[in-house]
Chains A and B, each alone.
Chain A
Amino acid sequence: MSLLAVENLVVRHGLLQAVRGVSFSIERGQTLALVGANGAGKTTLLRAIAGAHQPTAGRVLWDGADITGVPSHKRVGMGVALVPEGRKLFVQMTVEENLLLGKTAGRPGDWSVERVLDTFPNLKPRRHAKTGHLSGGEQQATAIGRALMSNPELLLLDEVSLGLSPLVVDRVYASLQGLISSGTTIILVEQDLNRALSVSDKVICMLEGRVALEGPSKGISRDEVTKAYFGLHRKSAASVPA
């Protein structure tokens, strides 16, 4: 059985339909990359999986059970953790306090403040600093660490490389590689296509709220993804609104 399955999910922001009937599933231990242009609905989809947005239609299945109506804080307890776009740290609180908040759901597991600090050694000297005073890379590490503290089975990463220098992005992905090889299931949104294809098993390209392309990362060419990204795969490309 799939760890997570999404069936015909529709999510609205008021009048705007951000996700329009998306279906996919992910198996335990897989890494899925979500790519797509700005406004394609990737962030909304991730937030709906995490429970921060209530879908208008469709279902979210977790290990076969319907969790569509379960609020976000309970999903954390089930093992879904989101690293939100833009980090969303509690800036008035210290690194350690942010990390400890990740433990609120109380899922058993071996992630601790010490282990997060070992995984992201750049956080060690900043342990008691307010997160509002950290650099972008340190903030991103704290955000990932905070999600890991809940011992998730499924980690949702929303543009973890946003606003970071290439060097720091390399460092963040190096630590993610450890997680991927340890068997954590991951869905990640990434703008860098090469990186997205190289770390993932499966890739989904979204366009205007729909899945434009889905396939194994190894068997898909960069060209195909680019076409799906811009909507060029459709027969009448002229119908794409400017």
Chain B
Amino acid sequence: MSNQIVQGILLGGYYALIACGLSFMFSVMRIINLAHGSLAVFSAYSLWWLASQFHISPFVGLLIVLPLMAAIGWALQRFLLERSARGGALLPILTTFGLAIVIDNLLFEQFGADTRSLAPYIGSLSYDSWEWPGSIYVGKLAVIMFAAAVILLGGLQLFLTRTRLGRSIRATSEDPDTAGLVGVDARRANALAAAIAMVTVGIAGAFLGMRATFDPYAGTPQLLFAFEAAVIGGAGSLWGTLIGGIVLALAQTFGAQIHPQGFLIGGHVAFLIVLFIRLSTSGLGLRGLLRLPVRKPA
């Protein structure tokens, strides 16, 4: 039993990693990015391409891919999301939905239907494990992923609370008009936030490729896990995202324990239970579901 719990918690680290960018983007920019999973898969493909063509280790490849993801995030906000956000709250969701389809099919056109993995390029790390007390074997990669999630979420939290740039981003998310009046360039803050979100997506994509296989259409299930983890943890709270990821992973692990087919169902059930609890305690509406802070009427 303790083995399942440990493995579940470590898997939760991965879910927190993929949920991190989604949650960050939602809490800061109020945009639900449905292209989130596809962008993570794009990052995985970029790393795979660098590794297979130029023999660049995925860890080194991140040095190239993460700046690229940041640039994509910046451009995405400036040229796509910022414009669509002017058309109301629904338009950015539709825009990112369309973007996901475009990315998926471009990847399909470029790389074909073969499943790929980054595992062959990281040596023995993909299957190595440590023995912990109580004869529990934990995968080295799983531990690294969990540590990466904690460091990333903690780093983001520190960035948002301790730095001038982080405060600017928080102020913009709370009230862009007033942020401008105190001297914050709201457009720049949002573009920067999008760039940061995409860097976390890039990292998530790398681990997606290392721990499993992916194909051009692998983005949707990743989006689903990210979404479930973010909602369970309460979108907008960074540490909540880690807890959400762990709850989701534990539910899946226990689901698999009950029935071989129970892995996904376990996660969905946990997600729905949390959803209904939120519904009944906070009143109806998306606002309550996602634990949005209620904005004061102007």
Contact = CB atoms under 8 A, between A and B. Distances in A.
B278 interface: no
Contacts of A77: 183
B239 to A, nearest CB: 16
Contact of A91 (B164, B183, B186, B296): B296
Nearest to A92: B174
A86 interface: yes
B175 interface: yes
B171 A93 contact: yes
A90 B170 contact: yes
B167 A100 contact: yes
Contact of B183 (A52, A73, A90): A73
Interface string B171-189: 1001101111111111000
Contacts of A101: 167-168, 171, 179, 182-184
A97 B168 CA distance: 10
B293 A84 contact: no
Interface string A44-77: 0000001110000000000000000001110011
Contacts of A88: 175, 177-178, 181
A76 B182 contact: yes
Nearest to B174: A90
B183 A105 contact: yes
Contacts of A146: 182
Contact of B168 (A50, A71, A104, A150): A104
Contact of B293 (A92, A100, A102, A147): A92
B186 A73 contact: yes
Interface string B108-142: 00000000000000000000000000000000000
Contact of A104 (B184, B293, B298): B184
Contact of A84 (B167, B181, B183): B181
Nearest to A105: B183
A82 interface: yes
A73 B180 contact: yes
Interface string A12-33: 0000000000000000000000
Given A52-B177, A86-B298, A102 B182 contact: yes
A52 B176 CA distance: 11
A97 B186 CA distance: 17
A71 B176 CA distance: 13
Nearest to A89: B178
A238 B293 CA distance: 48
B183 A150 contact: yes
A105 B182 CA distance: 8
A104 B182 contact: yes
Interface of B: 164, 167-168, 170-171, 174-175, 177-186, 293, 296, 298
26 contacts: A50-B181, A52-B180, A71-B180, A73-B183, A73-B185, A73-B186, A76-B182, A76-B183, A81-B181, A82-B181, A84-B178, A90-B174, A90-B175, A91-B174, A92-B170, A93-B167, A93-B171, A93-B174, A97-B167, A101-B167, A101-B171, A101-B179, A104-B167, A104-B168, A104-B184, A150-B182
Given A91-B174, A102-B182, A104-B168, 8 more contacts: A73-B186, A76-B181, A90-B171, A90-B175, A93-B174, A97-B167, A104-B184, A150-B183
